[in-house]
């Protein structure tokens, strides 16, 4: 079983806000707003959780469809990776 690891890029700083969070890319100076769910996903990934684990936890807590949550987590991981905010290694299909 392959495990996906997601590591925040060294240039990225995360700030918790009342309604989610903000990512600041220190290299580019760009800010990225995260809603509360995306901020939670970021924190769990940054703490070493696999995206599949994050999706399973969120689905169990919210009662949402697991496949939908997996797709949403996967989309966020791809977007953050494409922007250079998150390094992804392993099987993240």
Q: What is the 3-state secondary structure (H, E, C) of the chain?
A: CCCCEEEECCCEEEEEECCEEEEEECCCCEEEEECHHHHHHHHHHHCCCCHHHHHHHHHHHHCCCHHHHHHHHHHHHHHHHHCCCEEEECCCC
Predicted pLDDT at 92: 47
pLDDT given at position 1 = 44
**Per-residue pLDDT averaged across 23-32, rounded?**
94
Quickly state the pLDDT bin for 91 (edges 50, 70, 90). low
**What pLDDT is attached to residue 31?**
94
Q: Which domains are seen in the chain, by residue range?
A: 8-85 (1.10.10.1150)
pLDDT in tens, 34-58: 999 999 999 999 999 999 999 999 9
């Amino acid at each position: 079983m392959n495990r996906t690891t997601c590591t925040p890029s060294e240039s990225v700083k995360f700030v918790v806000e009342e309604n989610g969070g903000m990512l600041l890319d220190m290299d580019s100076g760009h800010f990225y707003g995260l809603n509360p769910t995306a901020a939670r996903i970021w924190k769990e990934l940054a703490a070493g959780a696999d995206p599949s684990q994050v999706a399973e936890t969120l689905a169990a807590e919210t009662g949402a469809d697991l496949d939908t949550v997996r797709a949403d987590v996967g989309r966020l991981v791809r977007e953050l990776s494409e922007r250079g905010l998150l390094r992804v290694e392993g099987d993240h299909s």
